[in-house]
Structure formats: structure tokens, C-alpha cells
């Protein structure tokens, strides 16, 4: 599954606190406050084939504008 591989490459974790040792992670960053979050489908624009946990995180996290 290529999109699962991509999630792995971006260090996706289902629980944002598990990313606390990642240099790109800052406290409070979660999928559901990321600009790529899709509220209606509970998914991520970067991984459209996968469901993403609202409290997850990956290194592509970007603040909503
Ligand atoms: Fe979550 Fe954003 Fe990463 Fe998608 S890009 S997995 S919504 S942190």
C-alpha cells in the first residue's frame, strides 16, 4: 500500500505524544489541528487511502491558516 508507506516515511504515529522525541514535533500539534486534516472523512489529504487518528501526528504537520 503506497500511501501506508508514505505515512511511515513521514513518521506518522496514532498518538501525538509518541512523537515527543521527534525534532519536528511541538506540544499541541495533532492531526485535527493540521491544515491537511479532513474533518468530514476523519482523514488526511496526504494519505487519502487511510484513516488518520484525530490525535495523531506526522512530520508534515502544518498549522491551519
Ligand atoms: Fe496528521 Fe497533518 Fe500529518 Fe496528515 S499531514 S497525518 S493530518 S499531522
pLDDT tens digit sequence for 15-46: 999 999 999 999 999 999 999 999 999 999 99
List pocket residues of ligand 1, CB cut-off 6 Å. 12, 31, 34, 36-37, 44, 46, 52, 56-58, 60-61
Whose Cα sits closest to atom 4 in ligand 1? 44
Residue 1 in this model has a pLDDT that exceeds 70: no
| pLDDT at residue 14 in the model | 95
The hierarchical CATH code for the domain 1-65 is 4.10.490.10
Q: How far is the CA of 20 from the centre of ligand 1 (A)?
A: 15
Neighbours of 6 (CB within 10 A): 16
Residue 48 has pLDDT above 80, yes or no: yes
DSSP letters, 16-59, are GGGGTTSTT--TT--GGGBTTEETTTTEETT-TTSB--TT-B-T
- C-alpha 23 – ligand 1 centre gap (Å): 16
Task: Report the pLDDT value the prediction gives residue 7, as an integer from 0 to 100.
Answer: 84
Task: Write the ipTM.
Answer: 0.99
Domain residue limits, the chain: 1-65
Amino acid at each position: 500500500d503506497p500511501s501506508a508507506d508514505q505515512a511511515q516515511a513521514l513518521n506518522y504515529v496514532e498518538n501525538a505524544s509518541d512523537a515527543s522525541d521527534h525534532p519536528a514535533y511541538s506540544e499541541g500539534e495533532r492531526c485535527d489541528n493540521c491544515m491537511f486534516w479532513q474533518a468530514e472523512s476523519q482523514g488526511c489529504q496526504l494519505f487519502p487511502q487511510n484513516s488518520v487518528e484525530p490525535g495523531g501526528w506526522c512530520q508534515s504537520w502544518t498549522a491551519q491558516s
